[in-house]
Structure 1
């Protein structure tokens, strides 16, 4: 049975109206088939879109481009794709390419099932052939951490009209008209050069070249990051000055990491966790310790305390262990 297109015919909507971005681009909007409705992400009305990255993602949906988002952790790469899909009414399935996802998991395998009291062997589709045949946006999360045997399965699929050959089944699967493919990665195929991302692989550049759009989403300007935190944590919306100081503190940790003075940094995700902790504990310093300071090496905590003093004009109890 062929899965129908998304709400045929798709309605064309202006990006300016949907996302508030000044452009003449239009994108398809529709309603998914009933069996895929649960895969449409939930709209987050407080989500703040980065214009350049949003346009890159929209080119994937509107023009069937293969879009790879690259950037540091916690910047919201995967969420960005999901929130665009949510506003387009497009089913989106997110798969984490961790080191344990094998080729058989990804493509499928023969399994033994019981039919009419008799054991028979059937081919169970993996997520890739399942998504390829449906009006689904497949999001490959942590793309640069995928195993080589999994990555090479994608070689042909990454082409705009690329098909998938199931050798065990002697079948060639052609992509559904509304199938879309996205990926997110912390690196651009160079491996763990920063020391932050253990487990990522050096990528085959012949495959990397098949991604037709590559966008970068790194840390946002301070005001935009503050807007995101205020949008996500309603309890702090009456305290914008506090959130501005938190974002300033996060920026100091990022500069210290770049200079080699800290071995970890505060991502926007961590800032949001810190804000959520403040809503729970009503204590800025304690919330910071629970969200970030306890992740730092002991010899780096005095520098973290110095940053806290600079941003909040208060002392941070870093509770260093007693020396022998």
Structure 2
């Protein structure tokens, strides 16, 4: 019987290659009410996400993500689409100067993509079969935060590969190569999901799977990220369209847009709508207003055309309520009588 070879970074080598660190205060770095101090790298590499200086951090989610970076906790961030789950992790990493790699667990991603596979290459003019490492061995071998997006949409064969990473030692077994890969001391693992592993109960997220609860139990921290308060959402949208927000009328316009977005979220929660406006959609709407110089046209092109025909009169009512303007989809008196 062959004993798997263990690929592990020697402690002396890991310490020599470890990036320099400095201690920083969480309150000053993330703008949240906390006296915690965290360690960050002193230099940024090409894999570090671009820092968004205007990003608004949710306190509980930020603390959960920081637990992943500082204590090696495995963190799953759950929330509806458009709440900024992956972006939240990236912006924490950007301020910690931590390299990040995102992998989308869509239906096309296979076990071989994660682990690696044999490939035929030419060396000295001769074909040879060599093993090409997949995403996991490459990310695990260096200081890096790996984010598994759409975690609840992963294929079963992919999920069982990931389950091994969720064990206490977090090693990755490559049976075909007779190897066991142990992670770099600064490797971190995160995931984002629209559901909490219960499947597509609402009908909103087609393609998601019911997750193995034994696997869910292996995540040390599960954070829930909801939509931000209106004031914070206003600041975020305004930072994306500074020319529009610079005018008083423009800022008032954005306030009304956020009011309408809130109505769609309430309508979705009540079962009146099958879709809603995420902060991402509001930003797109604002950007289209700058392009077309027409809030109603921009609303139609950014959101209304995505919606079911039967729901458009209700959305037109929301628009009229917020902007005091009737859209073509508005219900007239004959529709109400019928």
Q: Which whole-Å deviations, capped at 9, do the CAs of 1:210-233 have from their partners, x for residues lacking one? A: 110110112121111111111222
Q: Which whole-Å deviations, capped at 9, do the CAs of 1:230-260 have from their partners, x for residues lacking one? A: 1222122232221111111011111111222
- For the residue of structure 2 that corresponds to 1:90, the secondary structure is coil
1:42 matches 2:54:
no
1-structure distance, mates of 2:176, 2:97: 35
- For the residue of structure 2 that corresponds to 1:153, the secondary structure is helix
CA contact (8 A) 2:313 2:330 kept: no
Q: 1:242 aligns to what?
A: 253
1-structure distance, mates of 2:146, 2:156: 19
2-structure distance, mates of 1:318, 1:274: 18
Aligned with residue 173 of structure 2, among 152, 165, 176: 165
* Structure 1, unpaired ranges of 5+: none
Aligned with residue 222 of structure 1, among 214, 221, 230: 230
Q: 2:213 aligns to what?
A: 205
CA contact (8 A) 1:64 1:160 kept: no
- For the residue of structure 1 that corresponds to 2:46, the secondary structure is helix
1:319: how far off?
Answer: 9.3
Q: Which whole-Å deviations, capped at 9, do the CAs of 1:250-280 have from their partners, x for residues lacking one? A: 1111111122211111111111110111111
- For the residue of structure 2 that corresponds to 1:151, the secondary structure is helix
**Runs in 1 of length 4+ with deviation above 3 angstroms?**
1-6
TM-score relative to the length of structure 2:
0.90
* Structure 2, unpaired ranges of 5+: 1-8, 332-338
2-structure distance, mates of 1:49, 1:22: 11
Structure 1's 124 and 31: CA in aligned 2 closer, same or farther, altered over 3 A? farther
CA contact (8 A) 2:316 2:330 kept: no
TM-score relative to the length of structure 1:
0.94
Q: 1:155 aligns to what?
A: 163
2-structure distance, mates of 1:304, 1:187: 26
Q: 1:81 aligns to what?
A: 89
Aligned with residue 12 of structure 1, among 8, 11, 23: 23
2-structure distance, mates of 1:91, 1:79: 14
Q: 2:80 aligns to what?
A: 72
Q: 2:302 aligns to what?
A: 291
1:32: how far off?
Answer: 5.5
CA contact (8 A) 1:15 1:27 kept: yes
Count of aligned positions = 316
2-structure distance, mates of 1:286, 1:143: 36
Which of these two proteins has the greater Rg computed from alpha carbons? 2
